[in-house]
Chain A
Amino acid sequence: NAGVTQTPKFRILKIGQSMTLQCTQDMNHNYMYWYRQDPGMGLKLIYYSVGAGITDKGEVPNGYNVSRSTTEDFPLRLELAAPSQTSVYFCASSSPFIEDRDRMGYTFGSGTRLTVV
Chain B
Amino acid sequence: TQLLKQSPQFLSIQEGENLTVYCNSSSVFSSLQWYRQEPGEGPVLLVTVVTGGEVKKLKRLTFQFGDARKDSSLHITAAQPGDTGLYLCAGVMTTDSWGKLQFGAGTQVVVTP
Task: List residues of chain A with CB under 8 Å of any chain B CB.
Answer: 4, 31, 33, 35, 40-45, 48, 50, 56, 58, 90, 92, 94, 96, 101-111
> Interface readout for B4-22 with A: 1 if CB under 8 Å, 0 if not?
0000010000000000000
User: A58 vs B102: C-alpha distance in the bound complex, in angstroms?
Assistant: 11
| B48 engages A104 (CB within 8 Å) | yes
| B41 engages A105 (CB within 8 Å) | no
Q: Return A20 CB to nearest CB of chain B, in Å.
A: 19
- Known contacts A31-B99, A105-B35, A109-B42; A42/B48 CB under 8 A: no
User: A110 vs B45: C-alpha distance in the bound complex, in angstroms?
Assistant: 13
| Interface SS, B side | loop
| B42 engages A110 (CB within 8 Å) | yes
Number of A-B contacts (CB under 8 A): 61
What range describes how many residues of B lie at the interface? Answer: 20 to 34
CB-based nearest A residue for B49: A101
| A105 engages B33 (CB within 8 Å) | yes
User: Contact check: which of A41, A45, A96, A101 meets B99 at CB < 8 Å?
Assistant: A96
**Mind listing 22 A-B residue pairs with CB under 8 Å?**
A4-B42, A40-B106, A42-B88, A42-B103, A42-B106, A43-B103, A45-B101, A56-B98, A58-B100, A90-B43, A92-B42, A94-B99, A101-B50, A102-B47, A105-B33, A105-B45, A105-B90, A107-B45, A108-B43, A108-B44, A110-B41, A111-B40
Residues of chain B within 8 A (CB-CB) of A102 are: 47-48
User: A90 vs B37: C-alpha distance in the bound complex, in angstroms?
Assistant: 12
| B98 engages A48 (CB within 8 Å) | yes
